Each structure stands twice: as C-alpha cells, then as structure tokens.
Amino acid sequence: MKTLIPSEITPVQLQTVMQTAVSPRPIALASTVDKDGNSNLSPFSFFNMFSTVPPVLIFSPSRRVRDNTIKHTLENVLEVPEVVIGTVNFPIVQQISLASTEYEEGVNEFIKSGLTMKDADLVQPKLIEECPVNFECKVLEVKSLGDQGGAGNLVICEVQKIHIREEYLDENGNLDQAKLDMVARLGSNWYSRNTADNLFEVPKPLVTKGIGFDLLPDEIKFSRIFTGNDLGMLANVEILPAGNYHSDENVHLGAQKLLLESKIEEAWKILIY
C-alpha cells in the first residue's frame, strides 16, 4: 500500500490526492455581495450540510495554493455576513465552471456566466434563478483553518429560507432525486453526474439491526461468488433465515442476480434448502 505524509509532499500534490480521493463532492454556488452591494458568484466543492435543526450549511473558500491569496467570496462574507447558496445540476454545470474564472474585483460573475440574478427575500445577495434549489443564509461564523496557501476558511451558514424550482418536484411536492440530475466535483477536471440510470438505493438498518457478516453461514460467507456488497445485503436482515445453506456456486450466481435487483428476501429463499 502506498503511504504519504502530508508534510513530505508539495501542497499541489497533497491537494490533488485529497480532491481525487475525497469525492464526489457536492457543489455550492455562493452568491455574495460586498459592502457596496456589488454581486459576486463563485462555486465551491468544499461544501456540505452539517445540521438540520438548526439548518446549517458550510462551505470553504480556501486560500489559493499557488500564491496564498484569498477569494472575493471570503472578503464579501467578512464584510456582509450573508450568502445565497445554490445547488448545481447538469443543465448549468458549464455556466458554473465559467463562474469559477478568477475575474478582477468588481466583475459580476452572474453576467459573465449568463446566470440570472433574482432578489432574495431575507438577505442582500441575489438568488440564482437557474439553480434547482437556493438557500438564503445568514453567516454565523467564518473560521480560518490556517494562514498558508491551501488553508480553508469555514463559512458556517444558517439557512433562513429555501427556494425550490417546481420542475424538480415529484407528484407529492417533494424533491425528486432523479429529476434533479445533480453533478458533483471529483479530482482534476473531472465531474460526476447523478442521473436516473446510475442512482440506486441502499436500505439503512436504522429501525432494525442487520445480523452482520459474523453471523452469516460459512457456506455463504466464504463463497467465491459473493462480493462484499452481496454479503452486506445478505447480512442486513434482522433474523437469519433457518435451514440448510447451499454451497453450490451456481445457486450463488442465481442469488447474486437477485441481489443486483435488491431482491434480498428472494435471494435468501434460493440459498436455503
């Protein structure tokens, strides 16, 4: 196994490794204003949600690795502690990339990227009309993580109001994951796209407790057919089905096909005789 000590490689090498390994990352499109009311728009993939009550989002405009300068977004939230965070999907990904261009101070990235400004209800920064979801936020705190190039600055935001484009709702008025067509940031120039074709569900063992790998019968646990994912699904039942268990690999292949369709109960039925 290759091992790395962060202090023994260059910041660029470290950033490349971390951004490639820690992926996919959701993208925050941050709309801010300076003290004179000038708008700025920039995407950040150091971003996620960290609390529901209160609703808290955090993104991090890091100091630039190459020259240790800071971004206009960071300057703005320090002057005006408000931000609109828009989510990013495939229909606008190229415009979001354009908004990441390091334009001079005072240049409005809304105009450069062709995205539409819309007045927010509770904060000064503008909504991004094309984003599937906009979060109007108050900035609770900006926490610096260091003073060297590459150091992050955690912008801790409490959501005040949420705006959702109706075309991304299902028939029950809830956000439809497949319709959203979200994109995420990977390493280098790579992105990923979450379409209906590559979405899948994994039942969470929150209410019931899965039996776990250790209680799987040896005939199944040591199968040459089943993958770790297969065994994880079989081990996510509350009670081990009673009976004798097939060690026949052809039977295991049949069960594996059912597991690929998330038919766990049916898979167990053909594994027992």
pLDDT digits (tens, 9 = 90+) for 147-197: 998 899 999 999 999 999 999 999 999 999 999 999 999 999 999 999 999
The last residue of a domain, from among 193, 224, 249:
193
Q: Is residue 206's pLDDT more than 70?
A: no
The partner residues of 53 in beta bridges, in order of sequence, read none
Q: Position of tokens 């908004």?
A: 99
Residue 121 tokens, joined:
């209800």
Q: Examine the domain organization and report whether 154 and 265 are in the same domain.
A: no
The partner residues of 44 in beta bridges, in order of sequence, read 28
Least confident of 104-113, 121-130, 166-175, 183-192: 104-113
pTM of the predicted structure, to 2 decimals: 0.89
The last residue of a domain, from among 136, 162, 193:
193
| H helix runs in 55-181, sequence order | 72-79, 93-99, 109-113, 177-180
User: Does residue 112 sit within a domain?
Assistant: yes
Residue range of the domain that includes 235: 213-271
Q: Examine the domain organization and report whether 176 and 256 are in the same domain.
A: no
Largest interatomic CA distance in the chain: 75
Long-range contacts of 108-113 (CB under 8 A, 24+ apart): 108/38, 108/39, 108/40, 108/41, 109/39, 109/40, 109/41, 109/42, 110/31, 110/39, 110/41, 113/41
What is the residue type of 80?
V
Q: How many domains is the chain partitioned into structurally?
A: 2
